[in-house]
Structure 1
Amino acid sequence: MPSSGSSPRFRRPAPLFPATAEAIPGEPDPSTSTDLAHDSAQALLDGVFHSSDPEVVDRVLHLAAADGLSDLAALWSGSPATTLPGALWRLYVLHTWVQRHGEDVVHRYRAGSRTIPGLRYLSGFAEPPDVRQVQRTMDDILRGAFTGNLGLALTRAGAVATIVAHGTAQLADEDREDDRTRQAERLLSTGEELAAAGRHAEAGTLG
């Protein structure tokens, strides 16, 4: 387990749970994948942002739940975190994980919020949160990425992932579970990537 003064580095973004990796099909043609990823992400963002139809927003909010992460993975999972498709991919994966594993997330969040309480206010979760509050807050964050401030939404998602990462690490130390240690490292990496994407979005430099 890395010390509190260091941050792990990884060769590539890792999924938050094994089922995601199993759902990802082969990558598209490299000659077209970059443009396709960016164009599809931008079209989705623009389409929702300029729509006044709440049903459009709701469909995008539940896009991964309705169609699965595999379709999004085929388009976006290979994109760097500081690009629009890469940032939205990580946001959708985190959102899906929270929706599917709410009780586990709450357990980890409560442990992590005691370690780094300063991030609690940025995440927007109640303290102590319950499952429905956590899931509703992640809905709000994802909705905000499309209808409000993308940079703020990504920054809030990064705070959520970071808090849960610290909680996962704490529980791993208590239980001496190597699997949880690896999960903590992946979550921390995702949190850092989302925070970096948020900074780029605020600066107008999200690729």
Structure 2
Amino acid sequence: MAEDFHKPTQFSGSKFESFEGGQDPATISRVAHETAHALLARVRSDPDPEVVERLVAYTDEHGIDAVAELWSRATPRSLPGALWRIYLVRLLIRQDPEGTAFLYQRGTEVTVAIDPVIAGAAAPTGPAEIIVLADQILRGIFTGDFAVALDRAAAFCRVIASGCASVADDLDATELAASGVSRASELTTRALRFSTTAQEFGSCARLWRSDSLD
């Protein structure tokens, strides 16, 4: 990747799927797949710790724009699509670690699934722990079992979705003001978004295990 990119920019949850790429879909798709495969193959064949850490922290220094330009238009169930969503989820966590940790902790309290175990965050999960989890998942993409990293990302998203839905239910039950209704609606939308992303991560993990993730 080139070095001359924008500095970090704030990226709100409402823009989760709003990036648009260039004008030629075929070119966008080809470049996305070629860069994703080349990057992953190169790093996983020689996982130099310094290179891996630079990749993990890439958007902290350069912002999300460069990653989005390469991969945001890729189909969700593809290698570039998976990489884009991993980076995006990490960025959303780092932009609001307190809020994310709160929703994640709530999710662990209300879910009956083993997703908190699969995601692997330290418990209780505060802002520091949620940031560590985000870095662990992204690092696992480059140095560990790729499918396991995607499974962890999927589990994280499901826990967050459960937390969002639970807090939204609380607001529906206790908040009568218009602002409360609006907040509940926003959280419900976020829950759906994270649930969808979890499904996409899960599909990519299955495709990777069958050597079918393009």
Quickly name the TM-score band, shorter chain normalised: 0.7 to 0.9
**Structure 2 residue corresponding to 1:179, chosen from 142, 165, 186:** 186
CA RMSD of aligned residues (A): 1.8
After TM superposition, the structure 1 = structure 2 runs for residues 109-148 of structure 1, keeping only pairs within 5 Å, are 109-117=104-112, 118-148=114-144
How far residue 115 of structure 1 moved from its aligned partner, in angstroms, is 2.2
After TM superposition, the structure 1 = structure 2 runs for residues 10-159 of structure 1, keeping only pairs within 5 Å, are 17-18=13-14, 24-117=19-112, 118-159=114-155
Is 2:191 the partner of 1:196?
no
Residues 16 and 46 of structure 1, relative CA distance in 2, 3 Å threshold:
farther
Give CA deviations for 1:72-125 in whole Å, capped at 9, x if unaligned: 112211112221000111111111111121111111011111222411110001
Sequence identity (%) = 32
Residues 52 and 37 of structure 1, relative CA distance in 2, 3 Å threshold:
closer
- TM-score (norm. length: structure 1): 0.86
Structure number, greater radius of gyration: 2
Tell me how many residue pairs correspond in the alignment.
192
Gaps of 5+ in 1: 1-14
Quick one: distance in 1 between partners of 2:202 and 2:103? Answer: 19
How far residue 150 of structure 1 moved from its aligned partner, in angstroms, is 0.7
Partner of 1:34, secondary structure, is helix
The equivalent residue for 1:12 is: none
Kept in 1, the 8 Å contact 2:20–2:72? The answer is no
- TM-score (norm. length: structure 2): 0.83
Letter in 2 for 1:151: A
How far residue 53 of structure 1 moved from its aligned partner, in angstroms, is 2.6
Letter in 1 for 2:72: S
Gaps of 5+ in 2: 1-10, 173-183
